[in-house]
Amino acid sequence: MSDDLALDIQNPVMQLLRQDRIPHIWCPGCGIGTTVNCFVRAMLESGLNLDNVAVVSGIGCTGRVAGYINLDSFHTTHGRAIPFATGMKLANPNLKVIVYSGDGDLSAIGGNHFIHAARRNMDLMVVCVTNFTYGMTGGQVAPTTPLGPTQTTMPYGNFENPFNLPFLADACGAVYVARWTVFHVRQLAKAMKEGLSKRGFVFIEAISPCPTLYSRRNRLGDGADQLKYYKERSIVKNGADTKDVGLTFQGDITVGKFVDRERPTWLDSMNGHFSTHFKEKYKIYGGSHGED
Amino acid sequence: MHADPKGVLTGDHFIDGDHAACEGALAAGCRFVAGYPITPSTEVVERFASRIPLVGGLFIQMEDEIASSIAILGAAWAGKKVMTVTSGPGLSLMMEHIGLAAITETPCVFVDVQRGGPSTGLPTLPAQADMMQIKWGSHGDYEIIALSPNSPQECFDLMITAFNLAETYRVPVFFMMDEVVGHMTERVVIPAASEIDVIDRKWTRKQPGEYKAYQTDDSLVPEMIKAGDGYHVHITGLTHDERGYPAMNPVAQEKMMKRLLNKIRLNKDKLVDVREDGVDGADIVVISFGITSRVAGAAIEVARQKGVKVGHLRMVITWPFPADRIRQLASRVKAFIVPEINMGQMVLEVERAVLGHASVISIPHAGGTVHEPEVILEKIMEAAR
Query: What is the share, in percent, of chain B residues with pLDDT greater than 90?
Result: 100
pLDDT score of A255 more than 60 = yes
Instruction: Say yes or no: B92 and B191 in one domain.
Output: yes
Tens digits of per-residue pLDDT, A4-45? Answer: 667 778 888 999 999 999 999 999 999 999 999 999 999 999
Residues near A2 by beta carbon (within 8 Å), at least 6 away in sequence:
none
User: Residue B352 is part of a domain; what is its CATH number?
Assistant: 3.40.50.920
Higher-scoring residue by pLDDT: A2, A255: A255
Residues near B292 by beta carbon (within 8 Å), at least 6 away in sequence:
B128, B339, B340, B341, B370, B371
Q: Could you tell me the CA-to-CA distances from B222 to A51, A96, B79, B112, B200 in Å, in that order? A: 22, 26, 15, 27, 14
Instruction: Say yes or no: B177 and B46 in one domain.
Output: yes
Q: What is the DSSP string of chain A?
A: -GGGGS-----GGGGGB-GGG-S-SPPTT-SHHHHHHHHHHHHHHHT--GGGEEEEE-SSTGGGHHHHBSSEEEE-STT-HHHHHHHHHHH-TTSEEEEEEEHHIIIIITHHHHHHHHHHT-S-EEEEEE-SEETTTTSEE-TTPPSS--BTTBTT---SPPP-HHHHHHHHT-SEEEEEETT-HHHHHHHHHHHHH--S-EEEEEE---IIIIIHHTT--SHHHHHHHHHHHEEE-TT--GGG----TT--EEEEEEEE-----HHHHHHHHHHHHHGGGPPPTTSSTT--
pLDDT at A291: 42
Domain span at residue B282 reads 274-384
Is residue B258 a part of any domain in this protein? no
Q: To the nearest whole number, what is the mean pLDDT of chain B?
A: 98
* A-chain residues near B234 (CB < 8 A): 18, 66-67, 73-75
Instruction: Say yes or no: B316 and B191 in one domain.
Output: no
**Final residue before a domain boundary, out of B147, B180, B195:** B195
Is residue B28 a part of any domain in this protein? yes
Q: Which pLDDT band, with edges at 50, 70 and 90, does B220 fall under?
A: very high
Are A73 and B71 in contact (CB < 8 Å)? Answer: no
As a whole number of angstroms, the distance between CA B298 and CA B301 comes to 5
Q: Which A residues in the span 49-68 are in contact with B, Cβ-Cβ below 8 Å?
A: 51-52, 54, 56, 66-67
As a whole number of angstroms, the distance between CA B166 and CA A41 comes to 39
Task: Output the CA torsion B283→B284→B290→B293 (10° steps).
Answer: -90
As a whole number of angstroms, the distance between CA A283 and CA A265 comes to 18
pLDDT at A7: 75
* A-chain residues near B238 (CB < 8 A): 75
Are B100 and A289 in contact (CB < 8 Å)? Answer: no
pLDDT score of A249 more than 50 = yes
CATH number of A2-263: 3.40.50.970
Other C-beta atoms lying within 10 Å of the C-beta of residue B13:
18
Nearest to A56 by CA among B80, B20, B75: B75
Tens digits of per-residue pLDDT, B318-345? Answer: 999 999 999 999 999 999 999 999 999 9
Most B-contacting residue of A59, A77, A98, A281 (CB-CB within 10 A), to test interface: A77
Q: Could you tell me the CA-to-CA distances from A248 to A106, A257, A271 in Å, in that order? A: 20, 19, 43
Measure B237 CA to nearest chain A CA, in Å: 6
Write down the domain spans for chain A: 2-263
Nearest to B58 by CA among A54, A281, A283: A283
User: Residue B134 is part of a domain; what is its CATH number?
Assistant: 3.40.50.970
Q: Which residue of B has its CA nearest to A284?
A: B56
Q: Supply φ then ψ for residue B160, to 5 degrees.
A: -65, -45
Considering its fold, how many domains does chain B have in total? 2
Q: Could you tell me the CA-to-CA distances from B212 to B222, B241, B244 in Å, in that order? A: 9, 9, 7
For residues A220-249, average pLDDT: 98
Is residue B13 a part of any domain in this protein? yes
Tens digits of per-residue pLDDT, A173-187? Answer: 999 999 999 999 999
Query: Which of the 8 DSSP states describes residue B46?
Result: H
pLDDT at A292: 41
pLDDT score of A289 more than 60 = no
Does A118 touch chain B if contact means CB atoms closer than 8 Å?
A: no
For residues B3-27, average pLDDT: 98
Query: What is the share, in percent, of chain A residues with pLDDT greater than 70?
Result: 96
* B-chain residues near A274 (CB < 8 A): 53
Q: Which A residues in the span 230-269 are in contact with B, Cβ-Cβ below 8 Å?
A: 266
Assign residue B165 a region (left: φ > 0; alpha: ψ between -120 and 50; beta: otherwise): alpha
As a whole number of angstroms, the distance between CA B241 and CA B216 comes to 12
For residues B298-308, average pLDDT: 98
Q: Supply φ then ψ for residue B12, to 5 degrees.
A: -95, 130
Q: Which pLDDT band, with edges at 50, 70 and 90, does A273 fall under?
A: very high
ipTM of the complex: 0.97
Are B236 and A72 in contact (CB < 8 Å)? Answer: no
pLDDT at A4: 65
For residues A273-280, average pLDDT: 98
Residues near A209 by beta carbon (within 8 Å), at least 6 away in sequence:
A29, A30, A31, A131, A182, A215, A220, A223, A226, A227
Is residue B45 within 8 Å of B59, Cβ to Cβ?
yes
Burial of B257 (0-12, 13-18, 19+ CB in 10 A): middle
Is residue B227 a part of any domain in this protein? no
Residues in chain B: 385
Q: Which pLDDT band, with edges at 50, 70 and 90, does A290 fall under?
A: very low
For residues B137-145, average pLDDT: 98
Tens digits of per-residue pLDDT, B247-276? Answer: 999 999 999 999 999 999 999 999 999 999
Residue type, B322: P
Instruction: Say yes or no: B186 and B304 in one domain.
Output: no
Nearest to B58 by CA among A167, A125, A290, A10: A290
Measure B268 CA to nearest chain A CA, in Å: 29
Nearest to B63 by CA among A191, A114, A272, A219: A114
pLDDT at A8: 73
Bond before B107 cis per omega within 30 degrees: no
Q: Which residue of A has its CA nearest to B83?
A: A87
**Final residue before a domain boundary, out of B169, B195, B221:** B195
For residues B11-18, average pLDDT: 98
Q: Could you tell me the CA-to-CA distances from B350 to A153, B267, B345 in Å, in that order? A: 47, 20, 9
Interface of B with A (CB under 8 A): 32, 34, 53-54, 56-58, 60, 62-64, 66-68, 70-80, 82, 96-97, 100, 226-238, 245-246
**Final residue before a domain boundary, out of B195, B219, B243:** B195
As a whole number of angstroms, the distance between CA B191 and CA B174 comes to 23
For residues B165-186, average pLDDT: 98
pLDDT at A2: 55
Does A74 touch chain B if contact means CB atoms closer than 8 Å?
A: yes
Residue type, B256: M
pLDDT at A3: 60
Is residue B226 a part of any domain in this protein? no
